[in-house]
């Protein structure tokens, strides 16, 4: 009887030891993920703080370290969809705001990395097709069942791929893939046209306004999309006027509208849209560059 009791005690100790060992192993393996996911609210605040930063030099200096921090966090938690999208958004903003005007080859590489993160997030959301290579009908069918919760992965995949295509206009296969970008953006508009400051409408303003009608452009449709983006943002997002001037006014050879719109950007108050001070500051910077080239285009 005493031997049997001792046997039970030994088995109980062994079971407890195994349980403790298992818990320690699981905890050790998941500590990195727990830290990353516990930092999510800090990441939210960091993105908000960056968007509202009025000092372009400060923003440019801060972005690379933030991007590498996010990439390091992804090594700990590679399946974190929200972090993947933050990283894609960060690379997009850094490249568009500061790199593509001075180094298009580097911008292309950064947009490629941006697309990799966004497409990975899209895949984790259950979309197994690659928007870059899928046949248009296949992609259209794949996103037909998407819901509003899928808008972020659709939007950032489309945005990053679209900018990579823009940086590689001599790549025929890339240009052909632009129709797939339009499919994703159209689904975004159908599900939530206001997402990320109505940026899907801005895409279509550029998509239809930056090409001659014989090449698929539609100036009236481009105008509608720009007007809708401006309306959604209460005419406070200067990027709308910047892209309107750069693509639609320029394609229509309307120098007066081009000049007036860009001057209006430069004269806009710095506190016009505090939540988006960074992109408004970037829009002012790019408007000045476009005005410097006005005589070359008209």
pLDDT digits (tens, 9 = 90+) for 199-237: 999 999 999 999 999 988 999 999 999 999 999 999 999
Q: Binning pLDDT at 50, 70 and 90, where does residue 14 land? A: very low
Which tens digit of pLDDT belongs to each residue from 75-110? 999 999 999 999 999 999 999 999 999 999 999 999
Provide mean pLDDT across the span 117-132.
Answer: 96
Instruction: Summarize the confidence of residues 32-57 as an average pLDDT.
Output: 78
pLDDT for the residue numbered 177:
77
pLDDT value, residue 117: 98
For the stretch 245-260, pLDDT in tens is 999 999 999 999 999 9
Residue 187 pLDDT > 50, yes or no?
yes
pLDDT at 34: 62
Q: How far is CA 106 from CA 32, 46, 189, 201, in A?
A: 31, 25, 30, 27
* Per-residue pLDDT at 45: 82
Residue 38: pLDDT band with limits 50, 70, 90? low
For residues 48, 74, 104, 253, the Cα torsion angle rounded to the nearest 10 degrees is -40
pLDDT at 44: 73
pLDDT at residue 47, as a whole number: 87
Cβ atoms of 52 and 274 within 8 Å: the answer is yes
The pLDDT mean for the chain works out to 89
CA 97 from chain centre, in angstroms, equals: 13
Extended beta strands in 67-172, E state: none
Query: In the prediction, which pLDDT does 65 show?
Result: 95
CA atoms of 280 and 269, how far apart (whole Å)? 10
Helices and strands: H and E segment counts in the chain: 16, 0
- The reported pLDDT for the residue numbered 30 is 64
Model confidence at 282: pLDDT above 70: yes
- Model confidence at 135: pLDDT above 90: yes
């Amino acid at each position: 009887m005493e031997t049997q009791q001792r046997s039970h005690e030994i088995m109980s100790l062994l079971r407890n030891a195994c349980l403790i060992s298992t818990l320690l192993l699981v905890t050790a393996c998941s500590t990195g993920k727990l830290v990353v996911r516990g930092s999510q609210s800090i990441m939210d605040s960091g993105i908000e703080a960056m968007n509202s930063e009025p000092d372009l030099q400060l923003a440019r200096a801060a972005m690379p370290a933030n991007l590498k921090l996010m990439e390091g966090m992804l090594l700990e938690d590679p399946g974190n969809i929200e972090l993947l999208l933050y990283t894609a958004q960060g690379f997009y903003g850094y490249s568009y705001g500061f790199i593509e005007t001075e180094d298009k080859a580097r911008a292309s590489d950064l947009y490629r990395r941006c697309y990799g993160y966004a497409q990975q997030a899209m895949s984790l959301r259950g979309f197994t097709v690659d928007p870059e290579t899928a046949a248009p009908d296949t992609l259209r069918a794949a996103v037909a069942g998407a819901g509003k919760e899928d808008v972020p992965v659709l939007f950032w995949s489309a945005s990053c791929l679209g900018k990579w295509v823009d940086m590689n206009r001599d790549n025929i296969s890339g240009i052909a893939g632009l129709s797939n970008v339009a499919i994703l953006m159209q689904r975004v508009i159908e599900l939530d046209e206001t997402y990320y400051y109505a940026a899907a409408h801005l895409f279509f303003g550029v998509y239809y306004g930056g090409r001659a009608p014989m090449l698929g452009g539609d100036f009236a449709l481009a105008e509608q999309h720009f007007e809708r983006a401006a309306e959604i943002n209460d005419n406070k997002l200067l990027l709308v006027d910047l892209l309107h001037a750069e693509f639609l006014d320029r394609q229509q050879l309307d120098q007066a509208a081009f000049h007036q719109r860009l001057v209006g950007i430069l004269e806009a108050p710095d506190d016009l849209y505090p939540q988006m001070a960074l992109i408004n500051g970037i829009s002012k910077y790019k408007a000045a560059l476009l005005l410097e080239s006005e005589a070359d285009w008209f």
